[in-house]
Every structure is written in structure tokens, then in C-alpha cells.
Amino acid sequence: MRILSLVFIAMLSLTTFGQSSFAATIKVVVNGKTITDQDISQRAGFMRLERRGKSNADRLKLAREELIDEALMIGEMERIGRSVPDSAVNDAYAKVAVNLKLSTSKLTEILNAAGVQSKTLKDKLRAQLAWQGVVANVLRQKVQISDLELDLAAREEVGNATNYDFMLTEIVFLNTTGSTRSRTNEANQYRRNFNGCDNAVDLALSYRDAAVRTMGRRHSTQLADPVAKELAGLNVGGITKPRTIASGVQMLAVCAKTAAEDLTFVKNKLRNEVGTEKLQDEAKQYLAQLREKASIEYR
């Protein structure tokens, strides 16, 4: 949830802004709900903290339109017979504070120092929670992804060159001395003498600080592309070239290799990605429809 950035904290320590005390004037009425000039000014001030908007005038315009959208979001939540409890808003406010490594009282203090009431942030959080509820209860059932669509996308992502299931064994030459070059030389020597997974451990005993680990089944898409492509070109009993990793120098041995007909893993990943993207598009369209049907009076 994009709410605050850490960069404004230091900035706020330099300047204290005064609170406005003038009487509120209604600027917009959205389906009977009013938005005042103070609401807009407060939200524009919060946008400044978020580093949004090119100028004060730009932020005031953005704030007005954002508040209209949020009024529609909350109104739609009420239409389906639901509401956002204050406890949920307070929890979300506390989570923002935690993400900024602040207490809620310190977050409120920082906002107040910038002339922004904590209610401004809480109102924004309430609208976001309301919209999440609308999306979950109204829109999610509309988002359907066909198995054929997923099959085609999965096969395209996997590709012919990397469409394999592997049984892998990892060999790591641990860098305990700080010399990656010497460890790489030893790994290359191990690779030249390697004659299959069954003897991987025995061969490793000939080397100092060489660890062997059975990784088990891995699909090509679970591996980094360069690694998957190299493994695709190896036969069973083959071993990859040494690669430097955080703990030392790594090689992967192919203990078994089969064409991957089961794309379940890839399809599940794509289902989440495509579903989220479609849901976001559906939510944007739904909000646009609410705007078209709404009674919005600018004053």
C-alpha cells in the first residue's frame, strides 16, 4: 500500500507548519457527500509529503479528484451493505507507523508538524480498505482465466529450450579463505573428474571444505535463466560450470532430466500474476463506471 516514504521525515524536522483555522467551505458534493476546501487542502498537504504533484495548484486539483474517487469507493462499500470499522483503520494506521519504524504517536506528531491531521491519513486508509472490500466481494468473481489461456501462456514462458524437470545435486566449494580464484580452480578440477551423482560425495571428500547437497526436483522456471539454459544443454551425469555465490563457488549436477509435460507450477504462478493484473484493470473500469453514474457537483 503506497502511503508514505521515509524521505519526508528528515524534511519535517526542519519546518513546522501552522494549522489553518478558517471555516470550511463545501467545494464538491458526491452523491450527497460533501468535500470541503479544508479536506482538499489537507489532502494536498499530505500529497506534498508523498512527493506527489508538481506544484501546490497541481496538488489541490489531484487532491480534489482523489477525494471524489474515495467518496465513491466508500459509497459503494455502503451500497453492498458493508463498512470499514474504526479498529481496522487504526490497525492500518499503526502498520504505516511500523513500516516507518515509528510509534503511532510519533507519526501523528510528524503529520501535525507538517500541518496535516492524522484524520487525513486515516480517511485515505479507510477508503483503501473499503475499496479492497468492494473488489473482493463484487469484482473478484468476474475475473476468470481459462485453462487454455494459462496453458498457452505457460508454454510460452517455459519455452522449448528450458522445458525440463531436473533432479539436481549441488556442489559448493566454500570460500573460507577469501580466495575465490583458488576455489574456482579446485571446482574446475572437481568438474573434470566428476563421473555422476552417485559418486559426488566421495569425490568431494578429496577436497577441503567442499559440500554436497541433494536439491531434489526443480523445474526450469524455478531456476535462473542462465542456469536453466545451461542445464538444458547437459545430459544426465553432466555438471555446470562453476559460478560464484555468496558462500563460495557452486556447481549443479544433473542426476535426472525429463521433458516437463506438467506445467502446473508455471500455471499457478501465472494464475496469480494474470489474475492480479485483470483484477486491477477490472477495478479501474468499475471506478470509472461509478464516476459516470455518480452525481458530482462542483462548487
d(CA 195, CA 225): 25
Domain(s) of CATH 1.10.4030.10: residues in the chain: 7-143+291-298
Find how far residue 124's CA is from the centre of its chain.
20
pLDDT in tens, 97-153: 998 888 999 999 999 999 999 999 999 999 999 988 888 887 766 655 555 555 555
Cα angle at 258 between 255 and 260, to 5 degrees? 130
Q: Three-state DSSP class for 194?
A: coil
d(CA 126, CA 132): 10
Nearest by Cα to 27 from 60, 56, 73: 60
**Domain 7-143+291-298 coded CATH 1.10.4030.10:** yes
pLDDT in tens, 56-103: 999 999 999 999 999 999 999 999 999 999 999 999 999 999 988 889
- 263, pLDDT greater than 70: no
pTM over 0.85, yes/no? no
Nearest by Cα to 220 from 254, 183, 247, 197: 254
Q: Where are the alpha helices (DSSP H) in the chain?
A: 7-12, 37-49, 56-79, 86-99, 104-113, 118-134, 147-158, 180-193, 200-204, 225-232, 264-293
d(CA 208, CA 65): 66
Res. 9 pLDDT band, cuts 50 70 90:
very low
Cell numbers for 271? 494464475
pLDDT in tens, 286-299: 899 999 999 999 99
pLDDT at 219: 83
- 4, pLDDT greater than 60: no
d(CA 174, CA 212): 11
Domain(s) of CATH 3.10.50.40: residues in the chain: 164-259
**Domain 164-259 coded CATH 3.30.1360.120:** no
